[in-house]
Amino acid sequence: MAKEDFYKVLGIERDADAGAIKKAYRAKAMKYHPDRNPGDAGAEKKFKELNEANDVISDEQKRAAYDRFGHEAFEQGGAAAGGQGFGSGFADIFDEMFGNFGGGGGGGRGGGRRASRGADLRYNMEITLAQAYAGAKTNIRVPSSVECGDCSGIGSKGGVQPDTCPACNGHGSVRAQQGFFTIERTCPTCQGQGKVIKEACPKCQGTGRTRQEKTLAVTIPPGVEEGTRIRLSGEGEAGIHGAAAGDLYIFISVSNHRIFNREGPNIYCKVPIPITIAALGGHIEVPTVDGARARITIPAGTQSGHQFRLKAKGMSVLRSRERGDMFVQANVETPVNLSKRQKELLREFDGEAGAAKNNPESEGFFTKVKDLWEDLKD
């Protein structure tokens, strides 16, 4: 009797990809497996045909030979695909679905679940702009769980090593057969640890850790910004039963400065300038973020809003020797509380000044306004 076409056995098209082949095989294997059809000779035959077809079609080289020569490619002793019964592909599919299929000794039963690593902690720290520029060293106090000193983190009284769990023999999981399937679950006796404590440590109640406030030294590097995260490895919560501790993450926030504004590595500030210096020119001194002073030359005729750039007078750059720049914005100050003589001098100045010569921006603005009014009239 001629064999049925392998593609028809699997129920797929001839151009089906690997994913479609695997999906079709899995569905039919579940349907015709002998354990699901005890005593059904027809199902057993279908299952063997299915394995034979899958072994050929799922292999690129065998599939190419089958597509070219059909079943003849595997006759005369060449049918290596046939007769495998409970095929390896079927086992792989069920390993994927249910873990270690059929009681195999895979990695899931290698000596119990690893003890739980301690949780990571977060600490919010506010620093000044000066500290962000220069860096700082400080101490912080953090409430946390630490390793129990009485049992050295083991959890048993006196630090005695725990015994192997008798229920799972140290595997951390137990198995139960339910018809065709083997179900694996966490051992209820040891909670997946593979070991049991006969007598718990009275101080930590068997957890291997206790609550305590820790004092930690923190080094803040120069150039940190808002949101910079500093990691202290192993300074988080202690692990359970001697497992590794978590980490502590310090999140930096930088408080506002009363003079300086920061944008990345650069510093900005506004400086009031007397009208006389702005008009005649001169020099002023401004503070810098490093606590020093910088001298700025103000050219005659400086207007409000003009920026002066001081190179390398800004913030430190994290993990670099470079510094940002400092930008000083001139804010020309209009004098107030004038004396009678000062008012007379200003009126005298105003009377002698030529608008276009002494106030070019004002003259240009009002000329544009005049032109606009003329256009509206037209």
Q: Flag whether pLDDT at 230 surpasses 50.
A: yes
Query: Same structural domain for residues 229 and 135?
Result: yes
Same domain, 246 and 184: yes
pLDDT for the residue numbered 157: 86
- Among 254, 269, 293, the domain-final residue is 254
Q: Which two tokens stand for residue 338?
A: 């004038």
pLDDT at 264: 93
What mean pLDDT is predicted for residues 266-288?
95
Q: φ, ψ for residue 39 (rounded to 5)?
A: 80, 5
Question: Using CA atoms, how far apart are residues 375 and 367, in angstroms rounded to an integer?
Answer: 12
pLDDT tens-digit series, residues 45-66: 888 888 888 988 988 888 888 8
Q: Which of 68-77, 245-254, 353-362 has the lowest mean pLDDT?
A: 353-362
Helix H or strand E encompassing 132 = helix 129-134
268 located within any domain: yes
The model's confidence at residue 125, banded by pLDDT at 50, 70 and 90, is: very high
Whether residue 105 lies inside any domain: the answer is no
Which CATH number fits the domain that encloses residue 37? 1.10.287.110
How far is it, in rounded angstroms, from Cα 36 to Cα 26? 14
The answer, yes or no, to whether residue 111 has pLDDT greater than 70, is no
Given 63, 98, 133, which residue is the final one in a domain? 98
pLDDT for res 154 = 84
Interval 334-362 mean pLDDT: 80
Q: Average model confidence (pLDDT) for the chain?
A: 82
User: How much of the chain, in percent, has pLDDT values that exceed 90?
Assistant: 41
Q: Give yes or no: residues 139 and 164 share one domain.
A: yes
Residues 329 and 265 placed together within one structural domain of the fold: yes
Of 16-30, 125-139, 277-291, 357-371, the range with the lowest mean pLDDT is 357-371
pLDDT for residue 85: 38
Q: Is residue 79 over pLDDT 60? A: no
Inside any domain, residue 59: yes
Least confident of 84-98, 108-122, 301-315, 352-366: 84-98
Q: Residue 111 falls within a domain, yes or no?
A: no
Mean pLDDT, range 268-295, rounded to an integer = 95
| Residues sharing a CB contact under 8 Å with residue 111, sequence separation 6 or more, in sequence order | 170, 171, 172, 194
pLDDT of the residue at 192: 80
Q: Would 146 be classed as within a structural domain?
A: yes
Q: Do residue 41 and residue 130 come from a single domain?
A: no
Query: Residue 270 domain-assigned?
Result: yes
User: How many domains is the chain built from?
Assistant: 4
Q: Where in the sequence is the domain holding 133, given as residue range(s)?
A: 121-254
My answer on whether 128 and 247 are in the same domain is yes
pLDDT band at 98 (very low <50, low <70, confident <90, very high): very low
Neighbours of 107 (CB within 10 A): 7
**pLDDT beyond 70 at 119:** yes
Asked whether residue 288 falls in the same domain as residue 351, the answer is no
Residues 249 and 266 in one domain: no
pLDDT at 131: 96
Q: Does residue 151 sit in the same domain as residue 241?
A: yes
pLDDT at 93: 43
Q: Calculate mean pLDDT across residues 220-225.
A: 96
CA distance 81 to 71: 11
Distance CA 173, CA 191 (A): 8
246 with 283, same domain: the answer is no
- Report the Cα 213 to chain-centroid distance in Å: 28
Query: Among 35-39, 80-84, 286-290, 339-343, which is the least confidently predicted range?
Result: 80-84
Q: Indicate whether 72 and 192 sit together in one domain.
A: no
CATH classification at residue 136: 2.10.230.10
